[in-house]
Amino acid sequence: MEGKEIYGMLIDYEYCTGCHTCEVACAQEYDWEEGISGMKVMEIVEKLPNEEYYLVYLPFPTEVCSLCLGRIKKGQEPQCVKHCMAKCLEFGRLEDLMEKMKIKRRTVIFRPR
């Protein structure tokens, strides 16, 4: 298996509902103490023209995210991807994720530390 540098996480922030599953899934897997997780979810209330607003949740990998490479080697998904309630997280090779990003709006690719 190649190194971590070729992998990343595609996040479809149109569909993240802010359920915090990814945070706890990671905490359980790595036995983090509370408050630490490989994922964090931010809430952003975007102000738009005409007094309109758009509510977005953005999950992103933190400094402790390892992309679950240990699980990947065993043929499993990262814990956060596996459990995501909105199925809005995808793990993969950066070049493959890039192709997916071309056809889906409101997405972002993260390459963690």
Partner 1 sequence: MKTEAESIRTTAWSAGPGCHGGCGVIAFVKDGKLVKIEGDPDHPWNQGRLCARVLAMRQYVQHPKRIRRPLLRKGRRGEGEWEEISWDTAYDLIEERMKRIREEFGPESFIFAMGTGRDIGPWISLLAYSYGSPNVMFALSGNACYSPRIAALETFQGDYCVFDAGQWFEKRYDDPRFVLPRCMIIWGYNIHSTCPDNLFGHWIVDMMKRGTKIIVVDPRLTWFSSRAEVWLRIRPGTDSALAMGLLHVIVNEGLFDKDFLEKWTNGALLIRKDKNVLLREKDLNPYASSQNFCVWDERTKSVAIWDSEKLEFVPSNTVPSISCRVHLRDISGREIECETVWDVFKRRIEEYDPHTVQKITGVPEKEIVRAARYYAKSKPASIHWGVPIDMTPNVTPLCHAIACLWALTGNLDVPGGNVIARFAFDAVAYALPGSEGVIKLKSKEKDLTRIGRDKYGPFQKFIWRCQTDSAFEQIFTEKPYPIKGMWIQACNLLAGIGMDPKKWREALLKLDFVVGVDLFMTPTLMYADIVLPAATFLEKEGIRSWWVPLQCMKRVMRIDDCKSDAEINFELAKRFDPEFKWNSLEELFDDILKPSGIRFSELKERVWVFPPEGHPSHPYLRYEKGLLRKDKKPGFQTPTGKFELYSVLREEWGYEPMPLHEEPPFTPLSRPDLAEEYPLILSTGRRSPVYFHSEHRMIPYLRSIDPDPVVEIHPKTAQKYGIEDGAYVYVENWMGKAKFRARVTPVVPEWMVMATHGWWFPERDPKEPELFGVWESNINLLIPMGQNGKDGLGAPIKHLLCKIYRA
* Site for partner 1, rule CB under 8 A: 14-15, 17-21, 23-25, 27-29, 33-35, 45, 47, 53-57, 82-87
Minimum CB–partner distance for residue 94 and partner 1 (Å): 23
By beta-carbon proximity to partner 1, the closer residue of 53 and 73 is 53
Contacts of 101 (CB under 8 A, 6+ apart): 10, 107, 109
> For 72, phi and psi rounded to 5 degrees?
-60, -45
Minimum CB–partner distance for residue 3 and partner 1 (Å): 27
CA 97 to chain centre: 12
By beta-carbon proximity to partner 1, the closer residue of 19 and 64 is 19
- The C-alpha atoms of residue 65 and residue 17 are separated, in whole angstroms, by 21
Minimum CB–partner distance for residue 108 and partner 1 (Å): 17
Q: Which uninterrupted H or E stretch holds 46?
A: strand 39-48
By beta-carbon proximity to partner 1, the closer residue of 6 and 28 is 28
